[in-house]
Amino acid sequence: MNRRAARTDDNQKEIVAAFEMCGLSVALLHRAGEGFPDLVVGYGGLSGLVEVKDGNKPPSARKLTKKQVQFREEWRGDYTVIKDTDEAIAFAEYFRDRANRLMVGEKNA
């Protein structure tokens, strides 16, 4: 089977750095293939899948592939598409807040 090399979007390193700066752990998964997202992020016991698209490219070049669309439709967990570091920071803040609320709920249970 002849597979082409997995490519990353030009802004992936910046987005990973933004997530890490916000305290999230990041695993690179762009080589998994079959529509699997580029990253898994984690914080406070929560994990989320992240597909990176380059916000500097035209919308037609940022579209999800057919396999990515199928994966997203079938996935029953967190999945988001991030196009730039501002979106990464906003998502990290949301994700941390959600994890912190869940942790507080567990302490009160």
Q: Is residue 65 part of a domain?
A: yes
Q: Are strands 46-52 and 79-82 parallel, antiparallel or unpaired?
A: parallel
Band (109; pLDDT cuts 50, 70, 90): very low
Band (2; pLDDT cuts 50, 70, 90): very low
CATH number at residue 33: 3.40.1350.10
Q: Is residue 7 part of a domain?
A: no
Angle, to 10 degrees, between the axis of helix 85-108 and the axis of helix 12-21? 30
Is the separation of the CB atoms in 42 and 24 below 8 Å?
A: yes
Pseudo-torsion of CA 68, 90, 17, 5, nearest 10°? 10
- Residue 3's SS3 state is coil
Q: How many domains does the chain have?
A: 1
The whole-angstrom separation of Cα 95 and Cα 37 is: 17
Write out the residue range of the structural domain in which residue 29 sits.
12-108
